[in-house]
Structure 1
Amino acid sequence: MLMSSGVLGQTAGLSHVLDSQPADFIAQHYRSLAAKAFQEAVIPSNKEFWLKQKNVLKQRIIQETGVQRYPNLPLEIKETGMIVKTEYRIKNIRFQTRPGVYATANLYIPEGKGPFPGVLITHGHWPDGRRAVIFQEVAQVLAQSGYVALTIDAWGAGERCTIAGEQEYHGANLGASLFNIGQSLLGMQLTDNIRAVDLLCSLPGVDSTKIGATGSSGGGNQTMWLAALDERIKAAIPVVSVGTFQSYVMNSNCVCELLPHGLSFTEESAVLGLIAPRALKVFNANQDANPSFFPAEMLRTYANARKIYALMGAKEQLSYQRFDTGHGYWPVMQEAMLGWFDHQLKGIGDGSAKPRPSVLPLPAKDLATYPDNQREKEVASTADFCRQEGSKSLDINHFKIDKAYFDGKRESLKQIIGTREIRVIKRVDKLGDQDGWRRMVLRTMAGQTIPFLWYASRNKVTSYQLFIHSQGKDSLSSEAIEKAIQNKENVILLDLWGTGEQASPEAQQIDGRLPPFHTLARSALWLGRTVIGEWVADLEVMQKWLKQQGCEKLTISAYKETAVAALAFSIWNKTDRLILYDCPKSYHFDQRDSIDYYNMAIHLPGIIPWGDVALMKTLSTARMASYRERTMSGRVVE
């Protein structure tokens, strides 16, 4: 049973170590790392260098996102309904984006003789996905102006949610579950969008040499990545989505906008540079509320991307426009989009805004591929896909007893856990005693403050039991603590990175209603790190200090997400015993319900194909006891 802070006060005599809230070290540190990454991003000095780096960068993006290409896969387009208007018609369709997986979409086809330019429209985080009013408007404007427009539901959104007809947020723990099987929400979207371009190019009424792409917010992000990787996109307009990757750290963004390890090898200007010499126009809103998309951030990226366009002899092909609006795809933006696409894809006009034709959005149900919600099982949700792919990727080799294999797995796990700094002890301060507990603070050379409570055994034994919990030391079990004290062990109650008194108030505020560690987990992955890796680093520096106190036997009692960190720690560091409470038995996705039982710190990219929790336990040399092992949705495993 987990106790409240009040119970800790009764057991330990106090619930806090620090007398006042320290500065938000995590927010400051991560922003500093992101700023350093921006400054160190390589801007090519000559065209030859860039052309070499361009291919390397593309391959790294493909590797980190997990994007797939299926140029020879049948599209298997199926039409389930059609709406006929005076100047265009709309087809409600589904098509195959990867083997056995289908996406829901709408095709807007102008009347008249083609071939027409084609434009892919990608949506952001609006209810109804592709059928949201603003994306209908964009599609109608284009169709009435002589473009074939394709709108597609992003992975896990619109008609592709877990339960047909029920809206859900495709990010947070649900979207992050894709990391565990070695995929990413960004990569899933990119795979779909590349296939959407395949579809446009396959249509007899479309000129496959004149394909454009546009989208707003998360859809603008998709537009940028698609244009960067697919050279069939001749003109692209990402709307209210371009900023800097630096600004994504410690800000509120979706995991669909996350490139794992991104800031360890690139910045957004280089991704825009991948589009050169093809046409690119960036739209930003002066009144945008998200700091990641502020015009000031866009301009920093634009300045560096412009250097790449200049090397490619295409400075005139890159431009931007700011609008005195908020976040969205407003009519004034649609008019600017139409004039620019006419210039780039039709060769008419000078690119200036054109009055948009009148639009009349339709009820979302009219545009549904499955208006009765009886969708085909091949229209897979994130939950379906994670279950199916996770079971395929089980690495049976970890049952082999082979030293070389195990050594390799220990090393590859370090890549999964991510970069972790070696914490160097500056000093350890004792802030006073209360009811037998010493209030202690370990301070690192980097400025990190690690608070902990120490109940020193009167018998001066060399055995220590260290307690950790993802909700901080206030949530530890009083019964387990008292048992350790009765066994005459030294007892340490530690607040790990981002927990308890070591939490980031700024990150918690940004999280809002999203699962805990949403901001920190996302930010860590951008920097090539994981929360679990940060926890391992804290455990390593604590172990150094404990050894200085004469610790010879270390037991770690870890709860929920921190149990995985304790496991990883014990693989590389001598640990005598692990006591794991509510640890996931496996990272395999079991059900959508209760997906937030574990917080966002739990996710480790590629952990299932690596070998899962079972292999971690195999590699650990610690004696181990595990209580209430659970599925990823929190169900106790019998």
Structure 2
Amino acid sequence: MMKQNIMMALIVASMSLSASAQNNGNQPKTVAQNSYQDHFTRSLHDVMQDVSQRWGVRFKYNVDTIGKQLPYADFRIKPYSLEETLTNICKYFDFNWWKQNGNVYKIKPYEYPRRHTEEGEQMLAYLKTLYQNREQFETRKDSVRKEVRRILGIDRYMDSLVHKKPILGKVRRYDGYTVQNICIETLPGEHVFGSIYTPAKKGKHPLIICPDGHFGGGRYRADEQQRLGTLARMGAICVDFDLYGWGQSEAEYGKNSHQTDRAHVIQALNAEVLLDYMWNHRKDVDKTRIGANGGSGGGTHTVLLTVLDDRITAAAPTVNLASHFDGGCPCESGKPIQLAGHGTCNAELMAFFAPKPLLVVSDGGDWTASVPTLEYPYLQYIYNMYGAKEQVTNVHLPQERHDYGVNKRQANYDFFIRVFGLDCSKLDESKVKVEKPEVLQSVIR
């Protein structure tokens, strides 16, 4: 018996030496197996290193991964899909992944208004099961629009308006158009600040309400003035206004006010107040031609304005519309209006505008890259229910990024020339005077 035990010990020792010799060579070390008892837990850092090596990708982190442990770690790794693997890992920590350029992926905190393109595709497919004809779509539209209004809570604010006369600045005259500042007290002690761009030519003109986006400089930047001044030279009255907590509004509400859900409501309210003023008090407004046009966050509010107000007859949301993105700022998604109707998205909200003329401008460098293959076909499907498929158009700029550059502005010009009969011979941005910010600001008396 003793001889057998000695022989067994020699055999085990020999095997151990052999394994050690192999590990001193080029063979990988054997990693100790985790166990059922510890829920197959591994360090998140180690798991992500393994994933990086397996698929040959790099990760950037906007989250803290130090000390985090992942249970059932190896079971979350799917050898057939990197992205399913990342989803399985990230959801445990309420993270999300986003593909960047090339082989780089960014790991970020979960964002409720931002989803993957595939989720937008699934949402639109689901929505299409809710209506197979125009009548069913109209029923859905009426219900969701009412619920959006309720969730936004705008009627409570509208009922509290003070209805004071606006403060109008001196009319400044330029080549083919004028600019006049406007300030309206909306709620007690609160104001909306904006500017009115008007054609120099007398007569009835279409009106375009222009919510602003988050581009640097706000409504005072050059491309905003160029766009509105050019549209005015061609024959449209245009009105823009400060974002809540930006520009003059920042002095009134404070810098941090923009990062609140109140911004979502007040910006919509301000658009309505300005539209009401122009509608009721400007005799040069043609009430049959009312437009909405803005980019980025201004595009979000262009969509929202069409949901809230039936007076809008043509709309051009620019570098904004997507089924998988609600808007990354509280001024766009602070109120959960996308929960209306048991779930909706900006593409469906925009589809409620059918069959009126609609232009969607998109590019290849932001979330609107999916528009030509996803949101635009969906909009065509809805417009086709009304026999008006030709009334919705998409200008896609695949080589461009998120801005309000000249090609985006040109798409806006072409659209409003067509639907509002503007004078294309006046299309010359070089004729627009770019004013200093202080000139565009109102003086409260």
TM-score (norm: length of structure 1)? 0.48
CA distance in 1, matches of 2:207, 2:393: 21
After superposition, the Cα gap between the structure-2 partners of 1:365 and 1:285, relative to the gap in structure 1 and judged at 3 Å, is same
Tell me the percent identity.
23
The reply on whether 1:186 has 2:275 as its aligned counterpart is: no
The aligned counterpart of 2:308 is: 229
User: Is the counterpart of residue 143 in structure 1 residue 216 in structure 2?
Assistant: no
In 2 relative to 1, CA 268–299 (structure 1 residues): closer, same or farther, beyond 3 Å? farther
d(CA) in 2 for partners of 1:342, 1:169? 39
The Cα of 1:209 is off from its aligned counterpart by 1.4
1:115-514 → structure 2 map (5 Å cutoff): 115-162=204-251, 168=255, 171=258, 174-176=259-261, 178=262, 185-202=263-280, 203-244=282-323, 246-248=324-326, 253-258=328-333, 259-260=335-336, 262-263=338-339, 264-286=342-364, 288=365, 290=366, 293-297=367-371, 299-323=373-397, 324-346=399-421, 356=429, 358-370=431-443, 375=444
Q: 1:17 and 1:344, CA in 2 relative to 1: closer, same or farther beyond 3 A?
A: closer
Deviation string, structure 1 residues 325-361 (Cα, Å, up to 9, x no partner): 2222222222222221121112778xx9966553331
**In structure 1, how many angstroms separate the alpha carbons of the residues matched to 2:278 and 2:314?**
15
Which consecutive unaligned segments of at least 5 residues does structure 1 have? Answer: 1-14, 179-184, 377-638
Structure 1 residues 170, 321: CA separation in 2 closer, same or farther (over 3 Å shift)? Answer: farther
- Measured after TM superposition, the shift of residue 284 of structure 1 is 0.9
Return the structure number with greater helix share: 2
Distance 1:53 1:18, change over 3 A: closer
- Residues in 1 aligned to 2:188 and 2:310: alpha-carbon distance in whole angstroms: 23
CA distance, structure 1, for counterparts of residue 388 and residue 256 of structure 2: 39
1:302 to partner: Cα distance: 2.0
8 Å CA contact retained: 1:117, 1:346 = no
Say whether residues 1:24 and 2:90 are aligned partners: yes
The CA distance in 2 between the partners of 1:346 and 1:44, in whole Å, is: 34
Partner of 1:403: none
Alpha-carbon separation, structure 2, partners of 1:301 and 1:170: 32
Q: Secondary structure at the match of 1:366?
A: helix
Q: Hey, what does 1:64 align to over in structure 2?
A: 151
- Structure 2: where are the runs of 5+ without partners? 1-65, 74-88, 98-109
User: In the TM superposition, what is the alpha-carbon distance from 1:132 to its structure 2 partner?
Assistant: 2.0
User: In 2, are the aligned partners of 1:229 and 1:274 still within 8 Å (CA)?
Assistant: no
Counterpart amino acid of residue 222 in structure 1: H
Structure 2 counterpart of 1:593: none
3-state secondary structure, aligned to 1:49:
helix
The one-letter code matched in structure 2 to 1:58 is: R
Q: Is the 8 A contact 2:212 2:242 kept in 1?
A: yes
Residue 138 (structure 2) aligned to one of 29, 51, 66: 51
1:330 to 1:19, Cα distance in 2 relative to 1, 3 A: closer
Tell me the matched-pair count.
Answer: 337
Separation in 2, partners of 1:354, 1:199: 28
* C-alpha distance in structure 1 between counterparts of 2:396 and 2:165, whole Å: 40
* 8 Å CA contact retained: 1:138, 1:334: yes
Specify the SS of the correspondent of 1:294.
helix
Larger radius of gyration: 2
The Cα of 1:215 is off from its aligned counterpart by 0.7
SS, match of residue 169 in structure 2: strand
Give the SS at the match of 2:171. strand
2:173 maps to a residue whose letter is V
8 Å CA contact 1:122, 1:223 repeated in 2? yes
Is 2:233–2:427's contact at 8 Å kept on the other side of the alignment?
no
Shift of 1:142: 1.1
Aligned counterparts of 1:261 and 1:218: Cα–Cα separation in 2 = 15
1:271: Cα distance to partner?
Answer: 0.6
Q: CA RMSD in A?
A: 3.2
Q: Give the distance between the partners of 1:223 and 1:214, measured in 2 at CA.
A: 6
Distance 1:99 1:39 in 2: 45
State the distance in 2 between where 1:345 and 1:162 align.
37
Could you say what secondary structure the match of 1:24 adopts? helix
